[in-house]
Every structure is written in C-alpha cells, then in structure tokens.
Amino acid sequence: MGTPSASKSLNAGVVTAVRGSVVDVRFDRSLPPIRTLLRCGVDDAIAIEVLTHTDASHVRGIALTPTQGLARGMPVTDTGGPLMAPVGKAILSRMFDVFGQAIDQQEEPKDVSWRSVHREPPPLVHRSTTSVIFETGIKMIDVLLPLETGGKAGLFGGAGVGKTVLLTEMIHNMVGKHESAKKGVSIFCGIGERCREGQDLYAEMQKADVLKNMVMVFGQMNEPPGARFRVGQAALTMAEYFRDDEQRDVLLLIDNIFRFIQAGSEVSGLMGQMPSRLGYQPTMGTELSGLEERIANTDSGAITSIQAVYVPADDFTDPAAVHTFSHLSASIVLSRKRAGEGLFPAIDPLQSNSKMATPGIVGERHYAIAQEIRQTLAQYADLKDIIAMLGLEQLSPADRDVVARARRLERFLTQPFFTTEQFTGLQGKLVSLAESLDGCERILRDEFKDRPESALYMIGAISEVKTDKPKPAVKTPVSGATPEATHAP
C-alpha cells in the first residue's frame, strides 16, 4: 500500500458494526488511542481512523477508504500509530494521495521517511515577528494586494475566471525566483478536487517545467469524507519538512479550503454529533484553526499559503466564510466582468484587500501610490453610469483626465503569464515591485497621456512602452484634400 513499514503491534480487534463509513471495532486487550490508524479487509486495504472510544472495549472510527466488502466479525489490525505522510527530497515532482501513495503512474519514491500528519503548530517562541512582503512578480497583487511571507491569502473566484491560471503562475514565479537562493518549493493540495482538474493541472505543470520543485497531493471528490478531511494535514506535513529540515521557503496552494470544512461536516454528521448553526459541525473553528495555524513563518523558513475559498450562495456571513476570513491576511477577488473585458489577471481591485497594505509595512511611497490608484479606479467606477448615458464628452475636463488615468492603469496592471504562453503567443513577464510602482506612479502623473491605451496593455515593466514610437492621432491630410476628406471611410 506504500505505507511506512512500521512494526505492527500485536493488538488485534474485531469489527462489530459497519454503518457506511463509520465502523465500530471491539478490542479485548487494550484500546488504541484516538487518531490511531487501523487496517482490515483483504491485504489490509481498508483503513480506519479511530475518532472516539464508545466504552471500555469498543472504538468508533471513520473509514478513509471505501468499505465495500467489510463485514461484522472481520479481524482488525492496530498499526500502532496515526496516519503517516512521506517526507524527503524524493517526493519532489511527484503526485500523492492521502496515504502517501504515488498516483502519477510511476514507482513509489525511495529514500523517504514517514511522519504523522497530526502535528502541533510551531510555538510562538520560534515564530518570526517581522512582516515581510512576499513578491509574486504579478503587478496587480504586488502593488495593491501585497501578500505576507508566511501568511495566508484567500482567492475567491468561480469557474472560468482564471483562478487555476493564477495559482499556476504563482507556482512558476515562486520556483523561478528562489531557484538560485533558497530554492523555493511549491506544494499543491487538492481537497475534494475533480479528477479532471488534477490531471489538467499536472499536465500544465509538466509543460511549464515547474514540476522539479513541486509536490502535488490530492484527495479527490469521489473519495470518502475521511480521506478529504485528512489530505490537508498530509500536505502540511510535507510543507513543514521543507521549511524546518531543508530550511526552504514553501508556497502551499490549497484548492479548496471550503471542501475541508465540508468534509469535516460530513464526518461530524456520520459520527452522530449534534450540528451547529446552518448544519455545520460544532468543532469547525477548532478543526480549521488546527490546520491554518500550522501555516506560519518561523526562524528557519516560511510557509506562504494561497487558498481558494468558495463562498456558499455568495453569503459572506456564512459560518464557513467567517471562520476562514479570520485566518487570512489578504483577500483576492476574481471578477467575471473583468475577465470578459480581457483584463487578466481578472482581479477586482476595489473588492480585494490586504492587511499588509499599511505605511508601516510597505512604506509611505508604496502606500500612497496604492491609495491613489484605488481612488482613481473608484472615481472611474462612479463615472461609468454617466458615461454610458451621456457619453464621455459630457464629463468635465478633470473627470475626463481621471477616466484616462484609470483606463491606462487598468491596462498596465494586466500581464502576460508564463503559463499561458502557448495559448496567447505572448511571452510571460515577471515584474519587480520597484518596476510596478514606478510604472503606476508615472501613469498617475500623466506621463503617458499622449500614448494610446493599447500601448500599456499586456506588457511587463513601463519601460517597454518607450520602445514604440508614438503613432499620430490624426492622419495627415493629403495635399489638396479638405480636412473633411481625411475622416471619410
């Protein structure tokens, strides 16, 4: 099964009841502790995690695998330990399931050690107290929504607005940027992922040549809730190894954190716990904190997390959304409208926010530029209704300048991605924070007022605009022709 060859204890039990994924087991000698992994069935194929002790001789657990073929009276083996995850350099460029088994149709990795997926968050004494900006090389995020090294950012977006592309680009930039220094590692954790999405992402990573410093862990949508509930811990155990033992910076991408809460809700209901508000499990806050608090910046390295967050029925007061928000340092909202206008990445700058965007962290200049950009875009949003009804000509000269600035900023904050080169034909760009701020500042000062908006669309640094010669706004009249003739079709 690809699990660690730990010495099995002699403790054996018998199945007394099977109710779907919930299994009761009787042990006559001694009860295995909570979170112990039990094995039963043909070739020990069925895995059960102990969740409660019902009495002095019975335990109740949740199956992490399908329970077909399991019956009362079947023998159960106590493995003597919890669920384990493989760690080591050999897991790089591989894809695993919740048990640490390779699911990329290659042989099992060698030279790995195994660690429990249940680990405590790092103590406060080892945590870093300084806030450091995590540069992504993506202009929109670095300028308006700076991410925190060792922090957690939420990515909100529906289907088809570029969520996976944005995650893929961040992985590419993280690996490329840290390759020479501390060699960054990216870990993608799919919780409740569709099989198709996992396969597509694996193929994209292979084409982008970023698999060599990456690990992928999947708990697929069709797997039992117990497996989906534990796959996040398995991925975090791998991330903690690279942070603490290898002292490398880790980018952990989780898709989707809501499905972790959903799986916990299913497990809670199966175990017969009384539901809380809106049917969620009463232990949701504790379970989510146990996962999120392990993502931290320590004196040996940092785990920076980008998490996709599904908001049920767009209700931001939903308990799942409220509990998730309390852990995030930045919220990135993807807009279908902006995607329809061709403004990629399709991030809505007015709905998104970051706790790092303060003068004390990013600096006075960065903060002032970001605030001015937000103010300009907000004014443009207010003027859009007037423009739609009366036209641009009816605006005052000052308002027309605001619109011109905002439209140029919107186009400058677009960016060609490395991971979409094969589709767009545009070479990907990695833009430093200094270049991004310089470009935005110069646009706000109207340096490019005479340049067409299209000159700023899908470029990298602002210096690329100067390579083109400005095109004349009006065609030069032909000798002897009237001015009216120049505008004729």
Residues annotated as catalytic are 163, 193-194
Identity at 237, one-letter amino acid code: T
Number of DSSP helices (H) and strands (E) in the chain, helices first:
14, 18
CA nearest to 103, candidates 219, 20, 205:
219
Strand partners, 186: 214, 251
**Hey, is 133 helix, strand or coil?**
strand
431 CB-near residues (< 8 Å, 6+ apart) = 137, 138, 139, 142, 415, 460, 461
- DSSP letters, 376-428, are HHHHHHHHHHHHHHH-GGGS-HHHHHHHHHHHHHHHHT----GGGHHHH-PPP
For residue 166, what are the CA distances in angstroms to 68, 98, 131, 347? 39, 25, 24, 10
- Residue 449 C-beta-side C-alpha neighbours within 13 Å: 8
**Cα-to-chain-centroid distance, residue 243:** 18
Burial category of 316 from C-beta neighbours within 10 Å (exposed 0-12, middle 13-18, buried 19 and up): exposed
Angle subtended at Cα 421 by Cα 419 and Cα 422, rounded to the nearest 5 degrees: 105
What's the CA gap between 102 and 109, in Å, rounded? 8
**Hey, is 129 helix, strand or coil?**
coil
What's the CA gap between 432 and 135, in Å, rounded? 8
What is the rounded radius of gyration, in angstroms, for the C-alpha atoms of the chain?
Answer: 27
Identity at 472, one-letter amino acid code: P
What's the CA gap between 431 and 173, in Å, rounded? 10
